[in-house]
Amino acid sequence: MAYSFRIRFNRSPTDTIQSAENELSVPLPDKQLSIVLRTGQDNLPIQESDQLVLVGSGYQTESEANTSGSRLQNALMVALARVRVGADFGHRAPKGIFTDHGFKWVEEQIGPRVLNNFHGLITFQSEPRPCFVSVEPQMTRGANPEIFMSTLAQAIALQLQIPERVFLAYTLFNASFFQPSTDARFLFLVMSIEALLEPALRSTAAQNHVEMLIKQTKSSSLPVEELNSILGSLHWLRRESINQAGKRLTTERLKGRVYGDKAASEFFSFCYQMRSNLVHGNFPVPTFEEVGRVAATLEIFVSDLLTGPFLGYPAQ
């Protein structure tokens, strides 16, 4: 019994592998194995397909196929990065999964063996050759037209003048709705809050302490580059941190409101820490599901933060 692996990935919409073929073979020293890059969409050349798959076959065990597939996925990520073709391997993406009932219905339509068309790596028995199917539901959320028109009339009557910093925050908030991944959507929502922040000066005692540290650092024998780097960080310490500024702003605007199970300032700190873990690779990195759950609440949080000063705050 032979086994195969399959790595499906979506390529970035602005880059491609410029081949008019629909299949390319990877040269290997082991002639018993076959590694092929092919289009994931029928009748399209590789250069036009936004779904591509790397298929390896000729393995004696499922474990062997899985180990080789994992190694080949690493090689594929490195090679694509070298030629600057972006690839989504589905590590942090929703999965379209057919149920057993769905499989039974599909198999009645197209054939006896059907597998989920997952992003990323899967292993399977090579024969009989399976068909890969996926379902990718899309939902549209609808705003009540009467509520929208009433809100619009209220906003028009206010003759709003929006400061530049607030305008940027609205721009980032709107951009979050157009991001293809939950991670990017979450980061844009946090960025929209950061755009509002103006860190205040610390207490006089704290500023005096920072000035003392600056003087001591200037008189040190550190190399110039390291000295300037530390001084730059110390100058920032004259003002409160982003986390402190965010907690202050959200307390001022959203005091008494609860998001998830947290007070507004606590929710901001939670989101900002999650953002830091995601951006800086602090382990454990939040999972796709965790980011998705928080982003849904964060969207409401940012909406309240941006619109509350103009329109008042909706009931919770």
Per-residue tens of pLDDT for the chain, all 316 residues: 899 999 999 998 889 999 999 999 988 888 889 999 999 887 899 999 999 999 999 999 999 999 999 999 999 999 999 999 999 888 776 655 555 555 455 455 556 667 777 778 989 898 888 877 665 556 677 788 898 899 999 999 999 999 999 999 999 999 999 898 899 999 999 999 999 999 999 999 998 998 999 999 999 999 999 999 998 898 989 999 999 999 999 999 999 999 999 999 999 999 999 999 999 988 889 998 899 999 999 999 999 999 999 999 999 8
- The whole-model pTM stands at 0.74
Give 63-100 as a 3 state SS string: HHHHHHHHHHHHHHHHHHHHCCCCEECCCCCCCCCCCH
Do residues 170 and 270 share a domain? yes
Q: Is residue 139 assigned to a domain?
A: no
Contact (Cβ atoms closer than 8 angstroms) between residue 78 and residue 61: no
Do residues 193 and 278 share a domain? yes
State the total domains in the chain. 3
Do residues 282 and 161 share a domain? yes
Do residues 108 and 173 share a domain? no
Separation of alpha carbons 244 and 206, rounded Å = 14
Q: Which domain holds residue 110?
A: 3-133
Do residues 102 and 195 share a domain? no
- Bridge partners, 24 (sequence order): 37
Do residues 13 and 99 share a domain? yes
Do residues 98 and 180 share a domain? no
Do residues 220 and 244 share a domain? no
Q: Is residue 260 assigned to a domain?
A: yes
